[in-house]
Amino acid sequence: MSAGTDTAHDGALATPGAALPVPLRLLIGGAWVAGDGAPLASRNPARPDEVVAEGTQAVPADVDRAVRAARATAREWARTPIHARGAVLARAAAALEERADQLGLELAREEGKTLAEGTGEVLRAAQILRYYAGEGDRVAGEHFASPRRGERILVTRRPLGVVGIVTPFNFPIAIPAWKIAPALVYGNTVVWKPASTVPLLAMRLAEALDGAGLPAGTLNLLIGPGALGTALVRQPGLDGLSFTGSTGVGRMLAGEAASRGVPFQGEMGGKNAAIVLADADLDLAAEQVLFGAFRSSGQKCTATSRLIVADEVADEFLALLTARLDAWRLGDPTDPSVHMGPLVTPAAAEGVRAAIAAAEAEGARVAYCGPSPAASDGGDAPSAFVPPTVLEVGAGSPVGDHAAAGERPASCVPCGNTAWREELFGPVLAMRRAASTEEAFALAEDSEFGLSAALFTRGIATALEAVDALDVGILHVNSESAGADPHVPFGGAKKSGYGPKEQGAAAREFFTHTTTVYLRG
């Protein structure tokens, strides 16, 4: 473990479910320290009076300190053998696995996803660390023949240097893991700014990596407001920035990075469609659409937020889906019988409620709205809860570039409804009916985003057609739109992604650059 660890901080590790809030600390240059900024309290969205963790935030001067610390150790870390770097990740993975139940409970209390999902996310973070821990045993470069006698051409890879990582609230340990693990194993040092709504799980991941033997300054954790991300990208010592979050913030950071010539990797918005065709297994489709739309309260960039159903089976499918939703229990996410918890904050829930109201005012019909916790538990519903909602929307006025003539069948009219067009990041599913497979595919393409899509069909020819017709980064056939494995590329098309993809071997395309070596004896 790095020098300078705060002893009171260590003592907090054994009390994840205690009434007392866990003290928050920053990690800068190997020392766990309190921030000099404003106070920060991480509250349980299911129980707003319960403070899960609290501390003080970082200030802009801490960004400079963290980047300087990362720069100071960058050369030595890059020269550390990749197998040794991977061993650190493997030890951190073991630490997460050992404490998965404890950390899963903290995640459920802090972010609002169910206990099962929270524990599963901690284990997924460990899986990601283990995958990259084995990178030293994979292909490290390429060898080319030379047109000149006695010469060989080698293509090797080098780390970028000091990399900034900015992560969102919705997967507070898995998304950071899939950025930080490749960054570190490829020899970069890291300055990480997580979402300030989920600081405890960020601290837990940093603890696992720090305790696994990272040299001081190799990983730096800055907990604080969004302005720290802007300060980070403007740092002269930064060599790259990887971001996951909202489209607006991502575009702003991409612009800042481009103005300084800093490589940028961005995973941004999604408005993911599930297409249910007439030949689909409707029971399977109903199950998978429910999982894709309403697990994690819809707070996934890959969540199903648009539903396109063949007209001839639409009523039957909707009946199957609503029957499943009737058994879908909303409540405290730490209760093992609960299927869906609250949104991350009351403000986030209020924004989703306002969007539902706007969609109704624009003509959407409420096809389903589940009960609030008050309806089943007999009390006032906490304001962070939004019940699962299905809105059927119709055609509207053409919107944007997608309205260009000749892009879709005449029957496929673009929809301008808020629920169809905007990423609401909540448990809201906008539904449209399609008269044909061609129209269904065109409706799926009626979005500026292209992260993920799901297709339900028994026809292999139809599935193959979808591969060509749907411009998305991830296509699921007969499974939910959400989900990603660490050994394959993850990322979106169109305005959902910017720069190289994440995860798998694709990650090294961002976190390293090539050196072509002409080698002659």
The residues annotated as belonging to the active site are 267, 301
H or E stretch at 219: strand 219-221
What is the distance between the alpha carbons of residues 404 and 348, in angstroms, rounded to a whole number?
Answer: 34
What is the distance between the alpha carbons of residues 387 and 377, in angstroms, rounded to a whole number?
Answer: 14
3-state DSSP percent of the chain in helix, strand and coil, to 5: 40, 20, 35
Length of the chain: 521
Nearest to residue 191, comparing CAs of 160, 232, 231?
A: 232
Nearest to residue 124, comparing CAs of 457, 409, 482, 382?
A: 482
DSSP 12-32: GGG-TTSSSPEEP-EEETTEE
What is the CB-side half-sphere exposure of residue 449 using CA atoms within 13 A?
A: 25
> Coil, strand or helix: which one is 411?
coil
What is the distance between the alpha carbons of residues 219 and 164, in angstroms, rounded to a whole number?
Answer: 10
**b/e code 184-196 from CB counts within 10 Å (16+ = b):** bbbbbbbbbbbbb
> Coil, strand or helix: which one is 276?
strand
What is the distance between the alpha carbons of residues 466 and 455, in angstroms, rounded to a whole number?
Answer: 8
Nearest to residue 202, comparing CAs of 79, 400, 25?
A: 25
Nearest to residue 300, comparing CAs of 507, 41, 64, 117?
A: 117
What is the distance between the alpha carbons of residues 294 and 321, in angstroms, rounded to a whole number?
Answer: 12
Nearest to residue 392, comparing CAs of 369, 371, 408, 422?
A: 369
The answer to whether 355 and 418 have CB atoms below 8 angstroms apart is yes
Nearest to residue 492, comparing CAs of 423, 405, 440, 442?
A: 423
